[in-house]
Amino acid sequence: MADFSDLTLDELRLAMAPTVAEAAIFDGWSADAAAAAANDLAVDPDVAALAYPGGAMDMIAAWIETIDAEMAEALPQDVLSAMPIRERIRSLVQFRLDAVAGLEEALRRALAIMAMPQNAARSLRTGWHSADIMWRLAGDTATDYNHYTKRTILAGIYGATLAVFVGDESKGKADTREFLDRRIEGVMKFEKLKGRLLNSDRESFSLTRLLGRLRYPAR
Q: What pLDDT is attached to residue 29?
A: 98
Q: What pLDDT is attached to residue 67?
A: 98
Residue whose C-alpha is closest to residue 138's, from 153, 125, 124 = 153
All structural domains of the chain = 1-53 (no CATH), 57-199 (1.10.357.10)
The tens digit of pLDDT for each residue in 14-43 reads 999 999 999 999 999 999 999 999 999 999
Q: What pLDDT is attached to residue 209?
A: 55
The tens digit of pLDDT for each residue in 190-207 reads 666 666 666 655 444 555
Q: Which residues of the chain, if any, have pLDDT below 50?
A: 202-204, 210
- By residue count, the chain amounts to 219
Distance in Å from the first CA to the final CA of the chain: 76
Q: What pLDDT is attached to residue 203?
A: 45
Distance, CA of 17 to CA of 132 (rounded, Å): 21
